Structure 1
């Protein structure tokens, strides 16, 4: 099949593009290579997926004409591109344009792909709000611009399914970790600062926050499992992540264990909108997608440390 992956130079998008190529699909990747975080890291990711046989194009989904030079012979769209996370440097306009307007433009492109079998929106547990422990049928209560705009984007996509204009589903991902994690995210920053012997800034009170830290390979298992189930999953939402919870403190200790050294902690003020608990309820994904994440926290951290040392340590 011909598959379009947006955000293909990003963390999870790049892993998914590689997996789809390994499964024998023709994969086209899109990314705008913005400077939200290191463009060098995005270029490194892009090279990895190009070496795997993925075609990657630089394009900004906020431009309604982003797809004018792309083939319309697309069977599947996996939509990862977004303004991610909770950041004081990102404005509401950043979240709105990258998460809502960009999704609307991609939907319009998809509607012109006459053989499109499924539009797969990549959502987030932040849609649920400060506590993300619920099944998919619980009313969401997002507590950040990120969560609000990702919920709105998700509903834009599912609207087209309700209107029978295209088949679509949405996957809400939980606390993804592993190789290629963004530099401002917890584990990459812990590894980087731990190796340098510099203090890690920990948001006040967050050491007791609970997370479904899920290895990126287990996330990709769930993402690609939707292929071939178009009729069964049309219009549906699925939580994708591990049911195993760890505190942030346990995450810090896992990195210390793998590095073989203690990490100095510097407590900084709380971050507004930060989730207190995420625990993926994956009963629906287990039943319909046969989803079964297996990677332990230590195994995930070991893989991430190896990747970091290979690419960023002389």
Structure 2
């Protein structure tokens, strides 16, 4: 099948594009190479994809003419493109344009294709709110601009499914980590601090936060499991993540153990909208998708440390 992956130069998008190519699909990636974080990291990801025969086109879903920029003969779209996370330097317009407007434009493109592609929206546990421990049928209570706009994007996609205009599903991902993780995320930053003797910025109270830290390849397992299940998953939402909970403090200790070091901590004020607990309820994904993540936190962090040392330690 011919598959389009938006946000293909990003963390999870790049891993998914690789997996799809390994499965024998023809994969086309797009990314706008936003400066939200170091573009060099995205270019490194794009280079890795290029070496595996996956072209990543520089396309901005917000402003480009998608009918001209993209091929029409696409069977499936995996939509990762988004303005991620909780950042004091990001405006509401950043979240709105990248998460809502870009998704609307992608939908318009999909509906104008000669054959309407199956659309897989990549959502987030932030949709649930300050605690994300619920099954998919619980009413969302997002507490950040990121969560609000990702919920809106999800509903834009599912609305077209309800209208019968296309087949679509949405996957809510939980606390993904691993090789290629963004530099602003917990484990890349911890590893950098541990290896380079930098102070780690710890938001007050966050050491007690509980997370379903999920290794990226376990997430990709869940994402690609929707293939050939269009009828089953159409109009449905699925949580993807591990059921095992760990505190941020446990994550810090695990990285310290693996690096055989002590990481200095610099206390920072709490972040508004930061989730206090995430625990993936994957009963639905296990039943309908056969989803079963197995990688332990220690195993996943070993792989992430190896990636960091290979690419950023000279």
- Report the TM-score range of the alignment, normalised by the length of the smaller protein: over 0.9
Distance 1:211 1:69 in 2: 39
Instruction: Name the structure 1 match of 2:115.
Output: 115
Instruction: Name the structure 2 match of 1:276.
Output: 276
Distance 1:264 1:279 in 2: 28
Q: Which moved more, 1:293-302 or 1:59-68?
A: 59-68
Conservation of the 8 A alpha-carbon contact between 2:59 and 2:69? no
The Cα offsets for residues 236-283 of structure 1, whole Å up to 9 and x where unpaired, read as 000000000000000001101111111111111000000000000000
Instruction: Name the structure 1 match of 2:138.
Output: 138
Residue 47 (structure 2) pairs with residue 47 (structure 1): yes
1:117 positional shift: 4.3
Distance 1:54 1:36 in 2: 23
Question: 1:68 aligns to what SS in structure 2?
Answer: helix
1:34 positional shift: 1.2
Instruction: Name the structure 1 match of 2:102.
Output: 102
Distance 1:235 1:139 in 2: 16
Instruction: Name the structure 1 match of 2:195.
Output: 195
Conservation of the 8 A alpha-carbon contact between 1:64 and 1:105? no
Distance 1:159 1:224 in 2: 22
How many residues of Structure 1 are paired with residues of Structure 2 in the alignment?
314
* CA root-mean-square deviation: 0.8
The Cα offsets for residues 257-312 of structure 1, whole Å up to 9 and x where unpaired, read as 11111111111100000000000000000000000000000011000000000000
Distance 2:37 2:198 in 1: 20
Conservation of the 8 A alpha-carbon contact between 1:117 and 1:230? no
Instruction: Name the structure 2 match of 1:238.
Output: 238
Distance 2:254 2:66 in 1: 42
1:56 positional shift: 1.1
Conservation of the 8 A alpha-carbon contact between 2:110 and 2:117? no
Residue 228 (structure 2) pairs with residue 228 (structure 1): yes
| TM-score where L is the length of structure 2 | 0.99
Distance 2:133 2:259 in 1: 31
Instruction: Name the structure 1 match of 2:255.
Output: 255
1:64 positional shift: 5.2
| Gap runs ≥5 in structure 2 | none
Question: 2:96 aligns to what SS in structure 1?
Answer: helix
Instruction: Name the structure 1 match of 2:208.
Output: 208
Conservation of the 8 A alpha-carbon contact between 1:200 and 1:263? yes
Instruction: Name the structure 2 match of 1:301.
Output: 301
Conservation of the 8 A alpha-carbon contact between 1:133 and 1:280? yes
1:198 positional shift: 1.4
Distance 2:32 2:245 in 1: 34
User: Superposition pairs for residues 175-190 of structure 1, below 5 Å?
Assistant: 175-190=175-190
Distance 1:91 1:252 in 2: 30
Distance 2:64 2:134 in 1: 35
Question: 2:157 aligns to what SS in structure 1?
Answer: helix
Q: Which runs of 4+ in 1 moved over 6 A?
A: none
Conservation of the 8 A alpha-carbon contact between 1:76 and 1:120? yes
Instruction: Name the structure 1 match of 2:126.
Output: 126
User: Superposition pairs for residues 55-70 of structure 1, below 5 Å?
Assistant: 55-63=55-63, 65-70=65-70
Instruction: Name the structure 1 match of 2:159.
Output: 159
Conservation of the 8 A alpha-carbon contact between 2:191 and 2:255? yes
| TM-score where L is the length of structure 1 | 0.99
